[in-house]
Amino acid sequence: MSKLPDDIKDQALRYAYAVFDRRRWEQVPASQRGAVFDELVADAKFSEPLRPYLTAAQMRVWIKDSAAKEYPRALEGVGSASQYTTRRFPGPEAIVGATLGEDWAVIAESVEQKPMRCRAGGPTGDEALLAWGPYRILRDLYWAASGARLAGENRVGIVITRPTMACLSNDDWEHVQGLCGLIGAEPFSVMYAPRSLPATDP
């Protein structure tokens, strides 16, 4: 696949992320995401600048494996693609407060990605590691939590984030609890939705 020039990539990401922002991508079911990729490829405003470098099939792969894959991290304010979205998750502080309590705080420079995780400190000097993300990346969360336990972390939490107030199904939640039980991790489920960033002066 051809490497996109920086200005073309910038234009394509800006357009794709505007679509993702408008559709609230984190709430779009996996079964419906392919149709959005197809709509973008069919949209001349998106595809015409890309045609000298990518076929229609390659454009779809680029959207799926590059733009869409980076979008959740962009919502966390992580990575260069974060500049293209006008929305942002509340951040690690919100995860820590919703799970461990408002008297806990994120430990400086402890935030990591793939999956998102951080260390938190409590009022009595206790520490914990939290890994968070939607249910569809439970495998990644479990792997990160398992690694933390093997590394000697005493308190580890797996936090399943939800874009709305709707709870996980009983079967899904029991699955999370069962996996956490295997490694001595704490299961949490919290609502965690992006907010629109304040408008900036041009």
pLDDT in tens, 75-129: 999 999 999 999 999 999 999 999 999 999 999 999 999 999 999 999 999 999 9
Residues 77 and 85 sit within 8 Å (Cβ to Cβ): no
Identify whether residues 100 and 23 lie together within a single domain: no
Enter the pTM of the model. Answer: 0.90
| Total domain count, the chain | 2
Distance (Å, whole) CA 95 – CA 160: 10
Coil vs helix vs strand at 188: strand
Q: Residues, the chain, total?
A: 202
Identify whether residues 123 and 158 lie together within a single domain: yes
Q: Is residue 201 part of a domain?
A: no
Residues 151 and 136 sit within 8 Å (Cβ to Cβ): no
Residues 75 and 85 sit within 8 Å (Cβ to Cβ): yes
Q: Is residue 154 part of a domain?
A: yes
Identify whether residues 55 and 116 lie together within a single domain: no
- Model confidence at 200, in pLDDT bands (50, 70, 90)? low
Identify whether residues 27 and 113 lie together within a single domain: no
For 55-67, write each residue's pLDDT tens digit: 999 999 999 999 9
Identify whether residues 97 and 192 lie together within a single domain: yes
Q: Is the pLDDT of residue 2 over 70?
A: no
Q: Is residue 59 part of a domain?
A: yes
Domain limit, last residue, from 64, 87, 110: 87
Domain that holds residue 35: 6-87
